[in-house]
Amino acid sequence: MTDSAIRKIVIVGGGTAGWMTAAPLALKLGKSREIVLVESPEIGTVGVGEATLPTIRYFNLALGLDGADFVRKTQATFKLGIEFKDWGHVGNRFFHGFGDFGPPIEHRSPYQYWLRLSREFKDMPSYEEWSMATAMARKHRFAPPHGDQPAASNAYSYAFHFDAGLYAAYLRDYAMRRGVARIEGMITGVEQHPDSGFITAVKLRDGRRVEGDLFIDCSGFRGLLIEGVYQAGYDDWSAMLPCNSALAVPCEKAGEPAPYTLSTARSAGWTWRIPLQHRTGNGHVYCDGFTTDEAASRVLLAGLDGRALDEPRKLRFTTGRRRKSWIKNCVAIGLSSGFLEPLESTSINIIENAVGWLLDYFPDRYCRPELADEFNRLVAQRFEFVRDFIILHYKVTRRDDSEFWRYCADMPIPDTLRHQIELFRETGRVVIHDPEGFSVASHVSILAGLGVVPKADDPLIDLMDQRKLHAHFHKVRESIARTVDAMPGHGQYLAHLTGAPPAEGLAA
């Protein structure tokens, strides 16, 4: 180890972000660096990030986690995508599945060819029938893709629903077995070097000092270090994403858990339903400028499919991101770096990315600003890409039944998103600004699901014989249906994996 090497890392805050940061650092650095995590039981964690994207499988795989043990310990269920209800217009229902709409045809999206056939054959089934994930979700079936590797080329993928508190505890045990020290205490002060401004220690209420070379701020919305010490500033995106409040409440599970998240648009926001093995997570994201907390609570509780297990817990937030997530020797990860509502389950994914980039650009004790600049560029870019995808759900709407939805239809949006919408509306093409983010199929799911019908087709698809094309689509659809019918039910698969008895009323 060189004289300039980082010797001690201090993670401020536990919860999902803190322990998702600690676990990979412990695995990668082993005992070559001292890693300490400081958390206080007096400070609650948000703990409602219970739905994920398929990238969580990369994260778990990189840690070497046992899949069955992870599912048992976190009360996890499988997630094939999100069903959207009443988005676009009341009565609308569509599915954003993890996967594509069949194999590419002559290197072009099969959706383009489906679009041509749908214009020529009025009885053409919905494009969703060529989505394996959607077909599985509709029938509550589940089996992992062949090979079950995140990088495998398959027609569908999957993620997880899990209890965020149990996942944090699972990673805490993992990290501590690999040498991470946990210190319990309330931080009341921060010490800085008089010349460089680098953080040198955090002070606890009982008088203890925790010194370090690199400080990672996982303190949540308050941004104890990144904002409290360095005043990083915050880009407020409320004008484009007006929801600023959430209520969360668990309820008793009702029957077999569905292998997908349910998102239902409401008059001033939307509600979620996330099925776990032991309970169902529910929440209502809304704008308090268009409804009251009391009315939002009534909407949430009226939509539960089981007995509420607690009183709704209220959260306030401002959508946006820190202008910088890395300043000097402080790196913000998780809610301390920014917040986007969990409409597409991106919060944990952004943590995954940030931890990965921290390892990619891991500094020495000088924490050269060029490393921070690149990290900040990547984090800012990811937040903006996800922001645009979430705004898309609100902007493309025909709902005019409430002041909230009329505002969304008229609100300003980024030029990058406007270009994406207009390109699809005019030509059926999808532009992808983030190759590592949401795919062409994901954008098609949302745009087409919300009712955007392209005015024109790709002219090159006219070169294919119509009869051959129709036969190909018929064959793929039949193959998907046969494959799904042969799969076990989602509850059956969970019971087999965890060794638990099937739920009451579940076929053996």
**The tokens of 283 are what?**
């929440």
Residue 147 marked in a binding site:
no
Per the annotation, does 480 bind a ligand? no
Residue 146 has a pLDDT of: 84
Catalytic residue list: 79
CB atoms < 10 A from the CB of 167, how many? 27
| Contact indicator for 280, 310 with CB cutoff of 8 Å | no
List of E strands, 287-405: 313-316, 320-322, 326-327, 330-332, 338-339
Give pLDDT, residue 47.
52
pLDDT (tens digit per residue) in 191-234: 999 999 999 999 999 999 999 999 999 999 999 999 999 999 99
Query: Which of 452, 442, 450 lies closest to 156, judged by CA?
Result: 442
- Is 14 assigned to a binding site? yes
Nearest partner of 71 among 141, 143, 142, 170, judged by Cα: 170
pLDDT at residue 508, rounded to an integer: 26
- Pairing state of beta strands 326-327 and 320-322? unpaired
Which residue numbers in the chain have pLDDT < 50? Answer: 503-508
Enter the tokens of residue 107.
């290197």
For the chain, domains (ranges, CATH) are: 8-50+163-233+323-385 (3.50.50.60), 80-140+394-485 (no CATH), 245-316 (no CATH)
Q: Which of 286, 274, 252, 233 is nearest to 407 (CA)?
A: 286
Instruction: Determine the Cα–Cα distance for residues 53 and 157; give it in Å rounded to an integer.
Output: 9
Q: Does the annotation list 344 as a binding residue?
A: yes
**Pairing of β 209-211 and β 199-204:** antiparallel
What amino acid is encoded at 491 in this protein? G
Distances (CA, A) of 419 to 169, 238, 296, 341: 43, 21, 34, 23
The type of residue at 98 is F
349, exposed or middle or buried, with CB in 10 Å at 0-12, 13-18, 19+?
A: buried
State yes or no: 417 annotated in a binding site: no
- Rg over CA atoms, the chain: 24
Report whether 128 belongs to an annotated binding site.
Answer: no
CB 78 within 8 A of CB 490: yes
**How would DSSP label each residue in 114-141?**
HHHHHHH-TTPPPGGGG-HHHHHHHTTB
**So what's the pLDDT on residue 275?**
97
Q: Is the dihedral of CA 8, 325, 49, 389 positive or negative?
A: negative
Report whether 348 belongs to an annotated binding site.
Answer: yes
Cα separation, 478 vs 494, in Å, equals 26
CA 26 to chain centroid: 24
Report pLDDT for 80.
98
Instruction: With H, G, I as helix, E, B as strand and everything else as coil, classify residue 60.
Output: helix
Tell me what pLDDT residue 501 has.
Answer: 60
Helix intervals (H) in 178-335? 293-302
CA distances 62 to 71, 358, 399, Å, are 16, 15, 43
Q: How many CB atoms lie within 10 A of CB 394?
A: 25
Output the pLDDT for position 506: 38
16 is in an annotated binding site: yes
CA dihedral over 358, 359, 361, 364, signed as positive or negative: positive
